[in-house]
Amino acid sequence: MFEWLEYEFMLRALAATSVLSFSIAPVGAFLVLRRLSLAGEAMAHAIVPGIVIGFVIAGLSVASMIIGGLAAGITVALLTSLLARFTIIREDASLASLYLISLALGIFILSAAGSAVPLKSFLFGSILGMDDETLYLIGATATVTLVSFALILRPLVTSTIDPVFHESRSSRPGLVVHWFMFLVVLNLLGAFKALGTLMAVGLMILPATAARYWVSTLTGYLVLTFLFALASCWAGLVLSFYASEVPSGPAIILVAGAIFFVSVLFAPQGLGFLRRRRPSPR
């Protein structure tokens, strides 16, 4: 029953996703609270051509992936805000347009270059992909993310709840927001090997959304989001191990999806089917 524990690639994948859960959970939690879930989704697709170009030029190295991914992410973010400011199209439509172009460009380049990496594992992740470099990347991502959160937690909370209050007392109010979006891109890159470019953002959003149904305090929210992310990764990896044709990304996200639906149905702040019916809540 536990024969998957005997394979090194499984142990690597379990270790990698455990560390990843520590850092992707708080990022996802604030992405959801800041109502940026869809922007995060768009950003995940927008960074694909950067990763691909880095890959085509320099091979599957972590450095090229990070440089390419960050460059693509920043370019799309800047273009989006320029288009929203200077043309009639709103931010959501320009972001959607740009990320679709970006994603198509990435897949086009990857296919045209006759890549050695199968498209399937690029898009949906692979349980086999956890080489040393990937483990270092995830370790570094988690370190940067957790140290950053220790530093920006208070202004981040303030600007999430009461943005004008945050602006009134900070000399550079935009700094926290930009740093946070950098952490989003960094964690998407960290998650890319295990989950694939299409599924990485799911581990950011689904555990955070599911956890919100259960808790009313910030500490509780962050802890539960982490536990849901961890459980999704472990169960998803085992699922992918037995159904060997199934890439790890969809397997992990489906487990996260199951947790989400259970939460919707039974959690106190969801539909609350476990709760005794009371007169309508305020």
Partner 1 sequence: MVLSANELTLGYRGQAVVSNVSFHVAAGDVLAVVGHNGSGKSTLVKTILGTLPLIGGELSWHGGVPSEIAFLGQRSEFDTRVPVRLRDIVEMGAWSRLGFAGRIDPAGRAAIEAAMERTGTAAIADTPLHMLSAGQLQRALFARTIVQDAPVILLDEPFTAIDQSTEADLLALIDQWSGEGRAVIMVLHDLSAVLQHCHAALLLGRGTARFGPLDTTLTPANLVDLAYLTPSQAAWQERMFSRDVDSLSGGGDV
151 lies in the binding site for partner 1 (CB under 8 A)? yes
Query: How near is the Cβ of 31 to partner 1 at its closest, in Å?
Result: 13
Residue among 167, 243, 265, 271 that touches partner 1 (CB under 8 A): 167
User: With respect to partner 1, which residue has the nearer C-beta, 109 or 218?
Assistant: 218
5 lies in the binding site for partner 1 (CB under 8 A)? no
Cβ neighbours of residue 144 closer than 8 Å, sequence gap 6 or more: 183, 186
Draw the binding track, 219-248, toward partner 1 (x: CB under 8 A; -: no contact).
-xx---------------------------
User: With respect to partner 1, which residue has the nearer C-beta, 118 or 220?
Assistant: 220
59 lies in the binding site for partner 1 (CB under 8 A)? no
Distance of CA 31 to the CA centre of its chain: 9
282 lies in the binding site for partner 1 (CB under 8 A)? yes
User: With respect to partner 1, which residue has the nearer C-beta, 117 or 215?
Assistant: 215
User: With respect to partner 1, which residue has the nearer C-beta, 161 or 243?
Assistant: 161
User: With respect to partner 1, which residue has the nearer C-beta, 23 or 160?
Assistant: 160
User: Among 200, 194, 208, 187, which Cα is nearest to 259's?
Assistant: 208
What whole-number distance in Å separates Cα of residue 194 and Cα of residue 23? 15
271 lies in the binding site for partner 1 (CB under 8 A)? no
What whole-number distance in Å separates Cα of residue 190 and Cα of residue 209? 20
What whole-number distance in Å separates Cα of residue 175 and Cα of residue 89? 26
Cβ neighbours of residue 192 closer than 8 Å, sequence gap 6 or more: 51, 65, 69, 125, 200
Residue among 88, 164, 245, 276 that touches partner 1 (CB under 8 A): 164
144 lies in the binding site for partner 1 (CB under 8 A)? no
173 lies in the binding site for partner 1 (CB under 8 A)? yes
Residue among 64, 134, 158, 240 that touches partner 1 (CB under 8 A): 158
User: With respect to partner 1, which residue has the nearer C-beta, 5 or 161?
Assistant: 161
Pick the stretch among 13-21, 57-65, 211-219, 256-264 that binds partner 1 (CB under 8 A).
Answer: 211-219
Note whether 208 and 25 are within 8 A (CB).
yes
Judged by the rule CB under 8 A, the positions of this chain that interact with partner 1 are 33, 150-151, 154, 157-158, 160-165, 167-169, 173, 212, 215-218, 220-221, 282
